[in-house]
Chain A
């Protein structure tokens, strides 16, 4: 009745699969390939914004010093935005990022000034606290099945409130904690988390007249602020994680359709919890970087950064519904932010236009993303 001549064993795949170098592959045009990249919108936006400032801003904006001025705020936001982007791709939001910056800043400051811990221990302990808080966020979202929007909105207020209360308690009534910089020493750990890097390279460049220098020979820009290096490093690491690793595939799957992912054996809950821990640790990193630079912390640290981070992620191509987006897009999104917020001061425009620009950019990005998604996936 039925042909069963072929044994089941034949089904196991041959270990070496012959490469089918298909001539049809060439039909995928370069345009389609570019259109398929989620960060396309952010890159286009960055080019437009650059052109705009080239034609309107003072020429000092695009000197080396000017670029560093733009990249510094972009880096702080970008570290948050890249983590937020990964979490959004994984299908969740974290609105507590901004408050987390203030709270972990307080925790870090307290470890240094009140406990007198060595800097390296204080930093490690701060990350542990942040990771724990992120895990709490994640577990509540997973176990209650409530939208992460609501759960982390609650933490936005809880952590901000705790930062205020904690600061007053730790300082005896003030909402600012000083003296952190003085007590954190000057060892190599401090070098990693504050100040500038690549000074040698910059003096060499200045000595060879490749960058601007003062009459006495020191370069006008002595080095790259370490936050910018963290920002770039994180963008590269996150991109590699997303596009090349198992965890990356699981992040896309968890955000695309958690049920389907679970059916296929993806540990969705573990992926999401790890992402919440990552955003919290990114907030802690920003807190440590800014606190060490300023030498103090206060209760308004990271105020509204959660929205800016999410906006940068959306500009970078992340869908609000999850399952699609890119880390390098968030990188560009954060640079756009930095360029506009700082760039407006180089123009004759009122810098309060920044907020108008922000909203308009967000709206445009969402519309553009939806259009691209339909185009790419054939969704109707």
Chain B
């Protein structure tokens, strides 16, 4: 198993916004064919961290390496070119546009000579249908609007798009937070599928169950710091839950509610 060169590795990453310390020393790594879960409660710094990885923010200090080489991203485009694709919560999908048009948005393949250069929609439709077929989404017609897809399907299309356009690392920002049970399992299944293709996945969530279902390793973030990284065989789901919530308070609530949280 190739473990020498992680796809992404960060050490002691610090990010300040003026006087606000958003990240105060975060370390994590993602390898090929691995789902690395980033857990943390609201305000733990998850969003800042992924935006830093995605090239939106520049880190104040710390090391950031992609496949062993130190990098400095100045824009999201740089991160994309380095093979880091981020699927944001708002999905970067446009409900009124067709699945095909969304899938190729900003990266439309063209044919013909100017001024008759046009998008090769036959190719686009074929690719979209093929990719949807692979995920197992029943897209009867790639011209149907994305708005007609369910939340889980949209999430899967967004992931499939990132994979199709050559991502090596996928950063998924709470892909299951707004989904029902069936939809969630669809997305989790697809994350599993992406991992088996050899991509590295950073799966951000605050749902420990979802994380535990697909994760290989878990990094817990609290108040801008990493509390630690654990392999799946090192930690139980309950421990993870307590760690994430900062321990005590949740324990108390849990007892109060009869162990339901």
Contact between chains at B129 and A20 (CB < 8 Å): yes
Q: Of B88, B105, B118, B216, which one neighbours A261 at CB under 8 angstroms?
A: B105
Q: Chain A residues near B138: list those with CB within 8 A.
A: 24
Can you spell out 27 A-B residue pairs with CB atoms less than 8 angstroms apart? A1-B216, A4-B2, A4-B32, A4-B33, A6-B33, A7-B198, A8-B32, A8-B197, A8-B198, A10-B197, A11-B163, A11-B199, A17-B130, A18-B126, A22-B140, A25-B140, A25-B141, A252-B101, A253-B97, A257-B94, A261-B94, A264-B106, A265-B80, A376-B148, A377-B96, A377-B148, A379-B95
Q: Of A22, A240, A248, A373, which one neighbours B96 at CB under 8 angstroms?
A: A373
Q: Of B77, B118, B123, B147, which one neighbours A377 at CB under 8 angstroms?
A: B147
Q: Chain B residues near A250: list those with CB within 8 A.
A: 106
Q: Of A3, A12, A18, A319, which one neighbours B33 at CB under 8 angstroms?
A: A3
Interface residues of A in 351-380 (CB under 8 A from B): 373, 376-379
Can you add 18 more A-B contacts, CB < 8 Å, to A10-B198, A253-B105? A4-B1, A4-B32, A4-B33, A6-B197, A12-B166, A13-B164, A28-B143, A36-B143, A245-B118, A246-B117, A256-B95, A261-B105, A265-B107, A266-B106, A323-B96, A377-B148, A378-B148, A379-B147
Total interface residues in chain B, CB < 8 Å: 55
Interface residues of A in 246-296 (CB under 8 A from B): 246, 248-250, 252-253, 256-257, 259-261, 263-266
In the complex, A8 Cα to B197 Cα: how many Å?
7
Q: Chain B residues near A244: list those with CB within 8 A.
A: 118-119, 121
In the complex, A4 Cα to B196 Cα: how many Å?
6
Q: Chain A residues near B121: list those with CB within 8 A.
A: 244
In the complex, A79 Cα to B17 Cα: how many Å?
50
Q: Chain B residues near A350: list those with CB within 8 A.
A: none
B interface footprint on A1-44 (CB within 8 Å = 1, 0 otherwise): 11110111011110001111010110110000000100000000
Q: Chain B residues near A18: list those with CB within 8 A.
A: 126, 130
In the complex, A94 Cα to B32 Cα: how many Å?
51
Q: Is A324 an interface position by the 8 A CB rule? A: yes
Q: Chain A residues near B250: list those with CB within 8 A.
A: none
Q: Is B127 an interface position by the 8 A CB rule? A: yes
Q: Is B63 an interface position by the 8 A CB rule? A: no
Q: Chain B residues near A323: list those with CB within 8 A.
A: 94, 96-97
Contact between chains at A256 and B106 (CB < 8 Å): no
Q: Is B76 an interface position by the 8 A CB rule? A: yes
Q: Of A13, A260, A373, which one neighbours B91 at CB under 8 angstroms?
A: A260
In the complex, A22 Cα to B129 Cα: how many Å?
9
Contact between chains at A6 and B198 (CB < 8 Å): yes
Q: Chain B residues near A248: list those with CB within 8 A.
A: 119
B68 CB to nearest A CB, Å: 15
Interface residues of B in 178-192 (CB under 8 A from A): none
* B217 closest partner in A (C-beta): A1
Interface residues of B in 116-135 (CB under 8 A from A): 117-119, 121, 123, 126-127, 129-130, 133
**Interface secondary structure of B, over-half rule:** loop
Contact between chains at A19 and B126 (CB < 8 Å): yes
- List 5 tightest A-B contacts by C-beta distance, closest first: A377-B147, A4-B33, A265-B106, A256-B94, A264-B106
Q: Chain B residues near A324: list those with CB within 8 A.
A: 96
Given the contacts A17-B123, A263-B76, A253 and B141 also touching, CB distance less than 8 Å: no
Q: Chain B residues near A253: list those with CB within 8 A.
A: 94, 97, 101, 105-106
Contact between chains at A246 and B108 (CB < 8 Å): yes
A77 CB to nearest B CB, Å: 26
Q: Chain A residues near B1: list those with CB within 8 A.
A: 1-2, 4
A120 CB to nearest B CB, Å: 21
Contact between chains at B96 and A252 (CB < 8 Å): yes
Q: Chain B residues near A377: list those with CB within 8 A.
A: 95-96, 145-148
Q: Chain B residues near A24: list those with CB within 8 A.
A: 138, 140
In the complex, A368 Cα to B120 Cα: how many Å?
32
A268 CB to nearest B CB, Å: 10
In the complex, A12 Cα to B101 Cα: how many Å?
20
In the complex, A219 Cα to B216 Cα: how many Å?
83
In the complex, A376 Cα to B168 Cα: how many Å?
35
In the complex, A191 Cα to B212 Cα: how many Å?
74
Given the contacts A246-B119, A253-B97, A266-B106, A260 and B126 also touching, CB distance less than 8 Å: no
Q: Of B127, B143, B198, which one neighbours A17 at CB under 8 angstroms?
A: B127
Q: Chain B residues near A240: list those with CB within 8 A.
A: 118
Contact between chains at A249 and B197 (CB < 8 Å): no
Contact between chains at B33 and A2 (CB < 8 Å): yes
Q: Is B90 an interface position by the 8 A CB rule? A: yes
B75 CB to nearest A CB, Å: 11
Q: Chain B residues near A27: list those with CB within 8 A.
A: 140
Contact between chains at A260 and B93 (CB < 8 Å): yes
In the complex, A347 Cα to B94 Cα: how many Å?
46
